[in-house]
Amino acid sequence: MFNIKDGLRRAFGGVANQPNGSKDNLPQDKKSQLMNGTMLSSPSESMRAAWQLAKPYFTRSEERRKAQAMLAMVLGLTVGQVYMDVKLSNWGNTFYKTLQQAGNTLEKPDSAENRAQIEQLKSKTTKQLYEFLGLAGIFLGLAITKVKLNQKLQLNWRQWMTNQYSSSWIDGDSKTYYRMQNDGSAADNPDQRIAEDINRFTASTLGLSTGFLRSSLSLPSFTYILWDIAGPAFVAGAAGYAIASTYLAHKVGKPLVKLNQDQQKYEANFRYGLVNARNNTESIALQDGEAVERDILKHLFGPVVANQNRIINKNMQMTALSAVINQTANVAPYIIMLPQFYARKMDLGDFFQGASAFGQVQGDLSWFFNAYTDLADWKSVTNRLTGFSASMQKYNGTATLPAPPTPSAG
């Protein structure tokens, strides 16, 4: 039966119809931390929490051997992509050197010797183009296979976690779903935790992990190329540029972690209000509760708009910063290396490979900058799933659910 007092309590954050004798075994300080998304304050805590969420599937589930094999293949294909990146970079150097030789020969007076040399260079470039097709085909095969395996692994992982969390939440013995709903538990909107956050957690964890691995392997390879072509000063410049951009991204984008987490909570609260109104249509109509319900929905939607505006402003700042940094990085290596090229200290092949290597090194070192928004969202999802797991474990102690990590001092 629709109750106006319960409706107002729900709208303004209270707990309606809490049964007598219900207990909240979660300490108040940790409960507050979970609700505010500040439990996992440091990167190391987020990494430990993510590992606790992932470990059951990869080490204790009945699918662990298949999961481990698929993960090993995804990581192996990532290594193969880095190897092909280096091969394509070396091919580009050789190809542009051949073009420079052809250009120099074409500038010479016409003669039988020059014509013969031009024909040799034509044959050489034709072979190089066929070589490129082969390298590109291998790279494409690696990329397609990796995408399929990665998405299949993510789907299997999501399916397993969804089954485990659903079974633990809808538990016939402990009635976890009922007790969490009525004791003011810190884990808000369990339906969203299971339906959306598990999907986002598995996809983001795999995507960010393989991206970080690729950058970590690519960095030393292209640093060596850049060092060999342009010298240590050029490498130091790329590193300094990347470190500065990452620092700026952290300063500007840090609030996104809390903003994204709050947005998910506000959206879910508003959606719950709509579903609740739909499920109580008869009671609302009989007691003329339409005005109260409208006020409830208006109150629930207000934080959605206000917080989304804050996210828009922060994303605008991040987009502007990203555009400046990336566009500058595109032209910087050419500006720096042009004097050496005009002084004939490097040929066309080294010039283009050096510029490409600079971009690769700068991109690898800027991985945290480029992935900052995704990392912020991943951390928010990890926080929410950790809180949800802690709340469920309070009642049923399910072994497949991870225990929440203990926050480090300070």
Kindly write down the DSSP assignment for every residue of 298-324, as one continuous string: HHHHHHHHHHHHHHHHHHHHHHHHHHH
What pLDDT is attached to residue 402? 57
What pLDDT is attached to residue 397? 59
Residue 5: CB partners within 8 Å, gap ≥ 6?
16
Q: Which amino acid is at 307?
A: N
Compare 202 and 182 and report the one with higher pLDDT. Answer: 202
- At 232, phi and psi to the nearest 5? -65, -30
Compare 401 and 253 and report the one with higher pLDDT. Answer: 253
What is the CA angle 199-185-11, rounded to 5?
Answer: 90
For 346, the token pair is 């490097």
Q: What would the pLDDT profile of 154-190 be if each residue is shown by its tens digit?
A: 999 999 999 999 988 887 677 777 777 776 554 567 8
Q: How high does pLDDT run on average in the chain?
A: 82
What pLDDT is attached to residue 253? 82
What pLDDT is attached to residue 41? 54
Given a cut of 90, whether residue 213 has pLDDT beyond it is yes
Domain residue ranges in the chain: 4-16+26-32+39-396
HSE, CB side, 13 Å, CA atoms: give it for residue 340: 19
Which of 280, 252, 269 minimizes the C-alpha distance to 1? 280
Question: CB atoms < 10 A from the CB of 86, how many?
Answer: 17
Q: What would the pLDDT profile of 91-106 be if each residue is shown by its tens digit?
A: 999 999 998 888 888 8
Residue 269: CB partners within 8 Å, gap ≥ 6?
188, 189, 300, 303
Evaluate whether 183 touches 22 at the Cβ level (below 8 Å).
yes
Q: Which of 113-117, 139-143, 324-328, 357-361 has the highest mean pLDDT?
A: 139-143
What pLDDT is attached to residue 1? 39
What pLDDT is attached to residue 401? 57
Block residue for tokens 């092909």: 84
Compare 347 and 126 and report the one with higher pLDDT. Answer: 126
What is the average pLDDT across 342-349?
84
- Burial of 290: CB neighbours in 10 Å, binned 0-12, 13-18, 19+: exposed
Cα-based distances in Å from 234 to 82, 89, 173, 174, 351: 22, 18, 65, 63, 13
Residue 80: CB partners within 8 Å, gap ≥ 6?
142
Which of 266, 265, 327 minimizes the C-alpha distance to 297? 266
For 151, the token pair is 């998405």
What pLDDT is attached to residue 94? 92
Query: 3-class DSSP state for residue 347?
Result: coil
pTM of this prediction?
Answer: 0.71
Q: Which of 10-19, 262-271, 367-376 has the highest mean pLDDT?
A: 262-271
What is the average pLDDT across 60-85?
95
**Gap between the terminal Cα atoms of the chain:** 48
- At 409, phi and psi to the nearest 5? -65, 140
What pLDDT is attached to residue 131? 96
Given a cut of 90, whether residue 75 has pLDDT beyond it is yes
Q: Where are the alpha helices (DSSP H) in 37-175?
A: 43-55, 64-107, 112-169
Which of 46, 23, 19, 32 minimizes the C-alpha distance to 381? 46
Question: CB atoms < 10 A from the CB of 66, how many?
Answer: 12
Spell out the CATH class of 4-16+26-32+39-396: mainly alpha
Share of residues in the chain with pLDDT > 90 (%): 35
Q: What would the pLDDT profile of 280-338 be if each residue is shown by its tens digit?
A: 888 888 888 899 999 999 999 999 999 999 999 998 998 888 888 878 878 888 888 88
Compare 376 and 315 and report the one with higher pLDDT. Answer: 315
Q: What would the pLDDT profile of 4-62 be if each residue is shown by its tens digit?
A: 444 434 433 333 343 333 333 434 444 444 444 444 556 788 889 999 999 999 999 99
Render the burial of 352-368: b for 16+ CB within 10 Å, e for the rest: bbbbbbbbbbbbbbbbb
Of 32-46, 109-123, 186-200, 378-392, the range with the lowest mean pLDDT is 32-46
